[in-house]
Amino acid sequence: MIRPDAQLLLDIQDLHASVEDKPILKGVNLQVRAGEVHAVMGRNGSGKSTLSKVLAGHPAYRVTGGTVRYRGQDLFELEPEERARLGVFLGFQYPVEIPGVSNLEFLRVSTNARREKQGEEELDTFAFEDHVHDKLKVVQMDPAFLERSVNEGFSGGEKKRNEILQMALLEPVVAILDETDSGLDIDALRIVAGGVNQLATEDNATLLITHYQRLLDEITPDYVHVMAAGRILRTGGRELALELEQTGYDWVDQELAAQGVA
């Protein structure tokens, strides 16, 4: 939902970042306001996953230039955990397994860290069990997954549902979902997308990072951005995604060649 007067949540200006001294992001500009759903599309290696990791604060990615303001605050001054507590959420493309750490306990500690920051009361084990059972419905998840270790032995689809469950618990202000659709069959995709749609409000925003149009059939974006060579090459409405579906990314190469980048 586009409202020009809505609060600016994320303001990315001329962002540059490297991995192992290799420049990946080369001047990204993007503004995200409350209530909006953005889709960032592009081929492998275009820099879209790097953008999500940089925003969440992954230590392997080094910011080499530009600024990101999150609700007016310099994002890069904050540790990853601090960003999360303030409402920045990254849904991982490949959620890692953490053997021995109970999923339920992990979700509780995580939820309480966010609640504490928001001045809300900490939930004890019992209160949290009730709380989490409500949220399980959002992603139609079997409570048995709470008893297991974090993501351990989960199928691809179960891992993604667990990500959206975390999103439901943390109630983020800006949710960045990195290839949440990858590895999902159509039923799982609908459940995950349904969860994302339920959680979208006019006060938060979603940044979908995706390869394919099919996720956008389920979640309607307000803006579609096409990334290539570490920058946003073109921005449009949802029709841009449909156009990409039909024409592919060949035009991107031509455009880059014309600009003398590729």
Q: Does 110 bind another protein (CB under 8 A)?
A: yes
Q: Where are the beta strands (DSSP E) in the chain?
A: 8-19, 22-33, 37-41, 61-70, 73-74, 88-91, 98-102, 149-150, 174-178, 205-210, 223-228, 231-236
Q: Does 229 bind another protein (CB under 8 A)?
A: no
Site for another protein (CB under 8 A): which residue of 46, 66, 92, 145?
92
Cβ proximity to another protein: between 99 and 260 the closer is 99
Q: Does 161 bind another protein (CB under 8 A)?
A: no
User: 3-state DSSP call for residue 35?
Assistant: coil
Site for another protein (CB under 8 A): which residue of 2, 3, 74, 109?
109
Q: Does 153 bind another protein (CB under 8 A)?
A: no
Q: Say if CB 30 and CB 10 are below 8 A apart.
A: yes
Q: How many CA atoms lie within 13 A of 59 on its CB side?
A: 2
Q: Does 12 bind another protein (CB under 8 A)?
A: no
Q: Does 144 bind another protein (CB under 8 A)?
A: no
Q: What is the CA radius of gyration of the chain?
A: 18
Part of the chain binding another protein (CB under 8 A), chosen from 107-115, 184-192, 196-204, 247-255: 107-115
Residue from 55, 49, 82, 50 nearest 67 by CA: 55
Contacts of residue 193, Cβ cutoff 8 Å, sequence gap at least 6: 181, 215, 218, 219
Site for another protein (CB under 8 A): which residue of 14, 74, 81, 187?
81
Q: Does 145 bind another protein (CB under 8 A)?
A: no
Residues forming the site for another protein (CB under 8 A): 56-60, 79-81, 83-85, 89-90, 92, 95-96, 98-102, 105-106, 109-110, 113-114, 117, 149, 166, 170
